[in-house]
């Protein structure tokens, strides 16, 4: 708290949040009005608390006036927490149930939608490599935030995380020694450049941007959870437009197409790991 | 005098599984309020807690999916490695943002969002645990007029969590798991109509 102020806490109200998001959409084209309220409100409240903003109006004014401040806000309120081989059984299932079918194509196109800082992307690349599929694969890695895309392009992660990631990798059925994939230097693990050789990085906002290609596999895990049902439907429709029949869609293991009007276009090929295939 | 209770949230950590099993075992199959449980546990392990707890519940029991509608007469368990939140229109939202108090699911995150939605129609129960998660959530529940129940630290496998909550609030009910179970399963105190 600022000196001379009492410990007054700025409490964000729902209508203030809505008003803020409408203003930001007009000013910058980023649309958060379709985000799930409980989670995004908590993030914005946390932002207000952290920077000790004295009112919601002041926050709004500064965001509209100062684009650099807005970018900082954007990075803080979007969730970029991820890990390598998160949910090892998902990666095991991908290798067992999806890769053999992808291998029947001469050329494989994969979209990692909401790739964040790239941990999932490198996990995918490693498994494609081990199964001999990487050479004929192109991975399109997209995220709303340029800052995290830059991190994904770097492929450098804290060495302290490698113990946990190695455990996940082994649990997922990795075939090699995990340390073959990175060089340890100055407290970091620098992942091998060849893992990103076939990766195209670009900014893409699922809330407002359109389909840009057709893919054999779309991986979008734990991204839809931040959207309300209406925005989820928009994104699922976007995926449908980006998938040919027999294309795969992988969601987080607590995300489901069961509530979607598009559900009949998909069959569930792994119920626990939420891997779907387009059937019509 | 308590109002109608529509939902009960329960949080626990060290020793919490046993305590939750005792509570679930005592609930009648027609137990009407929604119950939502957040228990701390390791991530990326094969998830068996749902299967274990389900066996003890006569009330329908599941881990919710993102954006699932919340039902009465149902017990929900917060999934491993996600925060569980409740939206105003009474559907669940999941979140993989940073752990809070070192844990995901965090009890505070669940309790605070439940308090926003259910207000005075919510009861919060904080059980045994070896960290301070849940205290702020209980404070929010109390602030919104909800009913607060804390396990007596002297009866807990670890008293750290209930003790931390007791420094923040004076609960409406303080007792052993046994007395908490009697309170909620008998329905005497809860005027559910």
Could you tell me if A133 and A252 lie in one domain?
Answer: yes
Domain span at B128 = 7-186
Cα B66 from Cα A37, distance rounded (Å): 13
Choose among A79, A168, A258: nearest Cβ to B44. A168
Q: Which two tokens stand for residue A233?
A: 């439907």
**For residue A182, is it within any domain?**
yes
Residue finishing a domain among A77, A97, A129: A77
Domain span at A22 = 14-77
In what helix (H) or strand (E) does residue A218 lie, and over which residues does it extend?
A: strand A217-219
H and E: helices and strands count for chain A: 10, 10
Could you tell me if A141 and A208 lie in one domain?
Answer: yes
Contact yes or no for B20/B37 (Cβ under 8 A): yes
**For residue A220, is it within any domain?**
yes
**For residue A211, is it within any domain?**
yes
Could you tell me if A213 and A123 lie in one domain?
Answer: yes
All residues of chain A having their beta carbon less than 8 Å from the beta carbon of residue B94 are 222, 225, 252, 254-255
Decide if A45 touches B, using CB distance below 8 A. Answer: no
Residue finishing a domain among A77, A99, A129: A77
Q: Is A274 left (phi over 0), alpha (psi -120 to 50) or beta?
A: left
**For residue A3, is it within any domain?**
no
The pLDDT, as a whole number, for residue B48 is 83
With a pLDDT cut of 90, the percent of chain B lying above it is 80
Could you tell me if A174 and A207 lie in one domain?
Answer: yes
The pLDDT, as a whole number, for residue A10 is 87
Please report which confidence band the pLDDT of residue B46 belongs to, taking 50, 70 and 90 as the band edges.
low
**For residue B2, is it within any domain?**
no
**For residue A82, is it within any domain?**
no
Cα B193 from Cα B160, distance rounded (Å): 36
- Quote the strand ranges of B44-183, DSSP E: 61-62, 74-77, 83-86, 92-95, 122-126, 147-151, 173-175
Decide if A53 touches B, using CB distance below 8 A. Answer: no
Encode pLDDT of A167-216 as tens digits: 999 999 999 999 999 999 999 999 999 999 999 999 999 999 999 999 99
Encode pLDDT of B151-164 as tens digits: 999 999 999 999 99
The pLDDT, as a whole number, for residue B193 is 41
Mean pLDDT score of chain A: 94
**For residue B82, is it within any domain?**
yes
Q: What is the DSSP string of B155-181?
A: GSSS-HHHHHHHTT---SEEE-HHHHH
CA distances from A144 to A41, A77, A112, A149, A223 (A): 19, 12, 12, 8, 11
Please report which confidence band the pLDDT of residue A8 belongs to, taking 50, 70 and 90 as the band edges.
low
Encode pLDDT of A79-132 as tens digits: 888 899 999 999 999 999 999 999 999 999 999 999 999 999 999 999 999 999
CA distances from A33 to A22, A131, A208 (A): 7, 41, 11
Encode pLDDT of B48-89 as tens digits: 899 999 999 999 999 999 999 999 999 999 999 999 999 999
Choose among B79, B88, B116: nearest Cβ to A254. B79
Could you tell me if A19 and A145 lie in one domain?
Answer: no
Is B65 within 8 Å of A255 when comparing Cβ atoms? yes
CA distances from A271 to A117, A163, A185, A215, A231 (A): 27, 29, 40, 21, 23
Encode pLDDT of B8-26 as tens digits: 999 999 899 999 999 999 9
Could you tell me if A72 and A183 lie in one domain?
Answer: no
B42, HSE (Cβ side, Cα atoms, 13 Å) = 5
Is B88 within 8 Å of A37 when comparing Cβ atoms? yes
**For residue B191, is it within any domain?**
no
User: Which chain A residue has its CA at the smallest distance from B99's CA?
Assistant: A81
CA distances from A132 to A105, A176, A257, B7 (A): 13, 13, 31, 52
**For residue B192, is it within any domain?**
no
Cα B170 from Cα B121, distance rounded (Å): 18
The pLDDT, as a whole number, for residue B1 is 35
**For residue A64, is it within any domain?**
yes
Could you tell me if A92 and A50 lie in one domain?
Answer: no
Cα A72 from Cα A75, distance rounded (Å): 5
Could you tell me if A108 and A231 lie in one domain?
Answer: yes
Interface residues of chain B, partner chain A, Cβ below 8 Å: 44, 46, 63-68, 79, 81-83, 85-88, 91, 93-98, 109, 112-113, 116
User: Which chain B residue has its CA at the smallest distance from A232's CA?
Assistant: B67
Cα B56 from Cα B9, distance rounded (Å): 18
Better-predicted residue by pLDDT, A197 or B188: A197
pLDDT at A6 over 80: no
How many domains would you assign to chain A?
A: 2
Cα B135 from Cα B167, distance rounded (Å): 8
In what helix (H) or strand (E) does residue B182 lie, and over which residues does it extend?
A: helix B177-186
- Tell me how far the alpha carbon of residue B54 is from its chain's centroid: 16
Cα A98 from Cα A277, distance rounded (Å): 9
Using CB atoms and an 8 Å cut-off, which of residues 193-232 of chain A contact chain B? 222, 224-226, 228-229, 232
Contact yes or no for A114/A223 (Cβ under 8 A): yes
All residues of chain A having their beta carbon less than 8 Å from the beta carbon of residue B95 are 39, 42, 79, 225-226
- DSSP strand pairing (A266-270 vs B7-12): unpaired
The pLDDT, as a whole number, for residue A242 is 98
pLDDT at B45 over 80: no
Catalytic residue ranges of B: 13, 40, 133
Encode pLDDT of B87-113 as tens digits: 999 999 999 998 998 899 999 999 999
Encode pLDDT of A137-171 as tens digits: 999 999 999 999 999 999 999 999 999 999 999 99
Cα B176 from Cα B153, distance rounded (Å): 8
CA distances from A256 to A218, B64, B87, B140, B171 (A): 15, 10, 17, 31, 38
Choose among B79, B93, B96: nearest Cβ to A38. B93
> What ipTM, to 2 d.p.?
0.89
Q: Return the exposure string of B80-93: e unless at least 16 CB atoms fall within 10 Å of the residue's CB, then b.
A: bbbbbbbbeeebbb
Cα A182 from Cα A170, distance rounded (Å): 16
Cα A159 from Cα A161, distance rounded (Å): 5
Helices (H), chain A: 14-28, 37-51, 56-65, 67-77, 88-93, 99-102, 119-130, 146-154, 162-171, 229-241
How many domains would you assign to chain B?
A: 1
- DSSP strand pairing (B74-77 vs B61-62): parallel
Is B112 within 8 Å of A42 when comparing Cβ atoms? yes
Q: Which two tokens stand for residue A26?
A: 């007009």
The CATH number covering residue B157 comes to: 3.40.50.180
Residues 6+ apart with CB under 8 A from A100: none
All residues of chain B having their beta carbon less than 8 Å from the beta carbon of residue A171 are 44
> In DSSP terms, which residues pair with B173 in a beta bridge?
B149
């Amino acid at each position: 708290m600022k000196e001379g102020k009492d410990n007054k806490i700025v409490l964000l109200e729902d209508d203030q949040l809505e008003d803020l998001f409408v203003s930001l959409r007009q000013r910058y084209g980023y649309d958060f009005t379709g985000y799930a309220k409980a989670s995004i409100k908590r993030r914005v409240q946390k932002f207000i608390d952290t920077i000790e903003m004295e009112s919601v109006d002041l926050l709004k004014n500064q965001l509209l006036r100062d684009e650099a401040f807005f970018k900082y806000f954007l990075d803080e309120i979007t969730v970029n927490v991820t890990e390598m081989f998160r949910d090892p059984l998902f990666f095991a299932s991908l290798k067992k149930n999806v890769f053999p079918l992808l291998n029947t194509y001469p050329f494989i196109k994969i979209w990692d939608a909401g790739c964040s800082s790239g941990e999932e992307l490198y996990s995918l690349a490693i498994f494609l490599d081990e199964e001999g599929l990487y050479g004929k694969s192109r991975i399109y890695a997209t995220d709303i935030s340029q800052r995290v895309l830059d991190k994904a392009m770097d492929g450098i992660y804290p060495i302290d995380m490698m113990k946990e990631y190695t455990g996940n990798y082994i649990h997922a059925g990795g075939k090699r020694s995990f340390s073959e994939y990175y060089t340890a230097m100055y407290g970091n693990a620098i992942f091998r450049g060849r893992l990103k050789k076939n990766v195209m990085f670009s900014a893409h906002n699922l809330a407002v941007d359109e389909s840009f290609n057709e893919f054999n596999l779309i991986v979008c895990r734990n991204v839809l959870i931040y959207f309300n049902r209406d925005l989820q439907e928009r994104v699922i429709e976007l995926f449908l437009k980006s998938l040919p029949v027999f294309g795969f869609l992988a969601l987080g293991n607590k995300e489901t197409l069961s509530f979607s009007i598009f559900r009949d276009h998909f069959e569930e090929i792994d119920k626990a790991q939420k891997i779907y295939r387009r059937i019509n | 005098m308590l109002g109608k209770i529509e939902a009960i949230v329960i949080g626990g950590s060290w020793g919490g599984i046993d305590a939750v099993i005792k509570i679930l075992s005592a609930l009648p199959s027609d137990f009407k309020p929604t119950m939502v449980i957040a228990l701390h546990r390791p991530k990326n392990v094969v998830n068996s807690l749902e299967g274990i707890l389900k066996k003890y519940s006569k009330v329908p029991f599941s881990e919710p999916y993102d954006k699932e509608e919340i039902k009465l007469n149902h017990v929900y368990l917060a999934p491993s490695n996600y925060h569980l939140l409740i939206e105003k229109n009474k559907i669940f939202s999941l979140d993989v943002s940073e752990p809070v108090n070192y844990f995901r699911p965090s009890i505070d995150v669940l309790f605070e969002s439940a308090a926003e939605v259910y207000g005075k129609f919510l009861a919060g129960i904080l059980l045994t645990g070896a960290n301070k998660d849940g205290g702020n959530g209980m404070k929010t529940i109390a602030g919104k007029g909800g009913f607060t129940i804390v396990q007596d630290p002297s009866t807990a496998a670890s008293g750290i969590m209930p003790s931390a909550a007791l420094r923040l609030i004076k609960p409406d009910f303080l007792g052993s798991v046994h007395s908490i179970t009697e309170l909620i399963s008998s329905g005497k105190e809860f005027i559910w109509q």
